[in-house]
Amino acid sequence: MRQNILDLTLDRLSSWCSERELKRYVPPQVYQWLYSKKVVSFEEMTNIAVETRALFAEYFYIGRLEVGARHHSQVDQSRKYLFRLQDGRSIESVLMPQKNRLTLCVSSQVGCAMGCKFCKTAEMKLVRNLTQGEILGQILEVWRELSPGTRISNIVLMGMGEPLHNYDNLLSSIRIMTDDRGLGISQRKITVSTVGLAPEIERFANDSGVKLALSLNATTEEGRQNLMPITKKYSLERVIEACKKYTELQPKRRVTLEYVMMAGINDSLEDAKRLARIGSHIPCKINLIPYNEYPASPFQRPSEEKVGLFFHYLADRHFQVNIRYSKGLDVMGACGQLCVNPGIPSPVTT
C-alpha cells in the first residue's frame, strides 16, 4: 500500500531517502517541490532523476483533499471550504483575508469529543483524528488556489476539533508549517486554540513555540462546567496554572483568552470582574467573541451595548482586549458554526 508522503516528517523522509542511498540533495529538493512549489505529482519534480521519481511513486502518493464546496461570504471576504477526505468524511476550513494578512482556519479532527454546549461541531461528536497529511492538506489545497504571489500568512487551529486532543499529528504538522524547508510560516503567525487540556498545554509549552489561545468562556468553575463538560476533568485553576507554565517556558508569548459572550450566561459586569482577576494572573490578551447563532442554537448573542460595557470594563483596567466579530457568519463559517453531517455530502457550490 502506498503511503501519503505528506504524512511523513521531514526527518522520516530524509531517512527513507538515505536508506535507499539517494543523494543527499534529494530530500531537500522533494520538500521544496511538496511544500514550496506545492506540486501534486512526482512527475512535476523535474530536477529529480526519472528513476528516483518512479521510486517515490512506487511507495508514495501526494495526498489531495477534494474540494466539495466553496462558500463565499457576501458580508466579508471570507471563504469556507468543505473538503472531502479519502474515507468519504468531510471537514471544513475557512480562509479569512484581513488588511495585511491572509489567515486560514484549519481543522484538526473530524467532529470533536469535547461536547461544548454552545458549539455546533460538538453535535458531530468525534469521528476521528486528522492525519498530519490531512492537516497540512487543507493549507496546501487552499494555497494552490491563490493568485500567484499571494501567500497564506497566518494559521489558526480553530476549525473543527480539539487540536491538543490530536497531539502528535498536530505537533508534527506544525513542525512542517514552521520549518523553512516546509511551509516556512513563522511561529508567531500560528495559533493553537484549546478548550483547556491542561497536561497537553504543558507538554505543548515544552514542544512548540507557536501561540496558544485558551477558550475560557466562563469565569467560575460552575459556569465553565455547565458550558464545557471537559472542564470537570481540568479545573479552572489547573488550566490557568498550565497556561502560566506556557508563558514561563515561552517568555515571548502571551496567552490569548477567548471569551465567547452569551446573553444572560456570562456577560455581566460580575463576569467581567472575575475575568479581570483571572487575567491578572497570567500574561494575556483577551478576545471577546460575541456568540454566533446557528439554527436551533441554544444561546443568544448579547446586545452590542452589553458587549461594549464588558469590553470597557477590561480596557479601562489596561487589558489588551479585542472584540472579535467572527467572519463568515452568513456561510456558517464563523467560530462554533462548523459542522458537516458525516453521512450526507453537502451540495456542491463553487
Is residue 284 part of the annotated active site? The answer reads no
Q: Considering only 39-47, 50-58, 111-119, 229-237, which stretch makes contact with ligand SAH by CB under 6 A? A: 111-119
Q: Are 176 and 35 in contact (CB under 8 A)?
A: yes
Residues 21-80 that bind ligand SAH (CB under 6 A): none
Question: CA 309 to CA 304: how far, in whole Å?
Answer: 9
Q: Which residues is 58 bridged to in the sheet?
A: none
Check residue 310 for interaction with ligand SAH (CB under 6 A). no
Is residue 123 part of the annotated active site? The answer reads no
Check residue 166 for interaction with ligand SAH (CB under 6 A). no
65 or 106, CB closer to ligand SAH? 106
Check residue 92 for interaction with ligand SAH (CB under 6 A). no
Question: CA 106 to CA 119: how far, in whole Å?
Answer: 16
Q: Which of 127, 205, 307, 335 binds ligand SAH (CB under 6 A)?
A: 335
Question: CA 82 to CA 350: how far, in whole Å?
Answer: 10
119 or 198, CB closer to ligand SAH? 119
Amino acid at 207: D
CA torsion angle 54 58 63 67 (round to 10): 80
User: 226 CB contacts (<8 Å, ≥6 apart)?
Assistant: 117, 218
181 or 274, CB closer to ligand SAH? 274
Check residue 158 for interaction with ligand SAH (CB under 6 A). yes
C-alpha cell at 90: 468531510
Q: Are 163 and 157 in contact (CB under 8 A)?
A: yes
Distant-in-sequence contacts of 25-32, Cβ < 8 A, 24+ apart: 26/52, 28/181, 30/5, 30/56, 31/181, 31/182, 32/181
Q: How many residues bind ligand SAH (CB under 6 A)?
A: 17
Q: Which of 215, 250, 256, 266 binds ligand SAH (CB under 6 A)?
A: 215
Q: How many CB atoms lie within 10 A of CB 27?
A: 19
308 or 345, CB closer to ligand SAH? 308
Exposure string of 171-208, with b = 16+ CB inside 10 Å and e = fewer, is bbbbbbbbeebbbebeeebbbbbbbbbbebbbebbeeb
Nearest C-alpha neighbor of 211 from the set 239, 184, 191, 197? 191
Min dist CB 159 to ligand SAH, Å, is 7
Check residue 138 for interaction with ligand SAH (CB under 6 A). no
Q: Considering only 54-62, 124-132, 172-180, 190-198, which stretch makes contact with ligand SAH by CB under 6 A? A: 190-198
Q: Which of 31, 83, 167, 291 binds ligand SAH (CB under 6 A)?
A: 291
Min dist CB 274 to ligand SAH, Å, is 17
Question: CA 227 to CA 114: how far, in whole Å?
Answer: 10
53 or 165, CB closer to ligand SAH? 165
Q: Which of 13, 155, 242, 260 binds ligand SAH (CB under 6 A)?
A: 260
Check residue 162 for interaction with ligand SAH (CB under 6 A). yes
Catalytic residue chosen out of the listed positions 243, 284, 335, 339: 335
User: By Cβ distance, which residue is nearest to ligand SAH?
Assistant: 336
C-alpha cell at 189: 503567525
Check residue 307 for interaction with ligand SAH (CB under 6 A). no
Q: Considering only 52-60, 77-85, 114-122, 307-315, which stretch makes contact with ligand SAH by CB under 6 A? A: 114-122
User: 86 CB contacts (<8 Å, ≥6 apart)?
Assistant: 63
Q: Which of 118, 204, 234, 310 binds ligand SAH (CB under 6 A)?
A: 118
Which residues are catalytic, by number? 92, 335
Query: Which parts of this chain interact with ligand SAH (CB under 6 A)?
Result: 114, 118-119, 158, 162, 193-195, 215, 217, 258, 260, 289, 291-292, 335-336
